[in-house]
Amino acid sequence: MKQYDEKVILYFAMFHRTVDLMKATGLSKNTICKYKKNKEFMELAKQRRDELLQSAVHRMECELFNTINVLCKIRDKESINPQTRVSACNTILNHFQSLKVTLEFSERLEALERMGESEDG
């Protein structure tokens, strides 16, 4: 297996558009296109993206309990403006919902990619 620069793998995990990759890596358009055509490299980038997502999800899960405790304190403290209390709760719930949608989308995309690979093979 060929060794790749870890930073380049990370940038390919983070960005999809060639122009963004060019800015982040300093690589030429031709070099980026070669990387994109390299199945081994793109699989590494996909694995790294999955690891980043899982890490973010794990961190959110850990923080969720603290956040819920803070929200409960805000919710229960009558000296805080009711609108502020409701707004704080809504903000956290909206972020949680966005994360959930992102994860579901990622899982569906992976399933579609696997289906495409099995049709090709």
21 CB neighbour count, 10 Å cutoff: 22
Question: Which pLDDT score is estimated for 68?
Answer: 75
Residues whose CB falls within 8 Å of the CB of residue 32, separated by 6 or more in sequence, listed in order: 18, 21, 22, 25
More confident residue, 100 or 13: 13
Question: Which pLDDT score is estimated for 32?
Answer: 95
**Percent of the chain, pLDDT > 70?**
98
- Token code pair at residue 57: 């999800």
Question: Which pLDDT score is estimated for 42?
Answer: 94
Least confident range of 11-15, 25-29, 46-50, 81-85: 81-85
Question: Which pLDDT score is estimated for 120?
Answer: 67
Question: Which pLDDT score is estimated for 121?
Answer: 60
Question: Which pLDDT score is estimated for 65?
Answer: 76
Task: Report pTM.
Answer: 0.57
Question: Which pLDDT score is estimated for 72?
Answer: 78
Tens digits of per-residue pLDDT, 49-86?
999 988 988 888 788 778 778 877 887 888 999 898 88
Q: Where are the domains of the chain?
A: 6-120
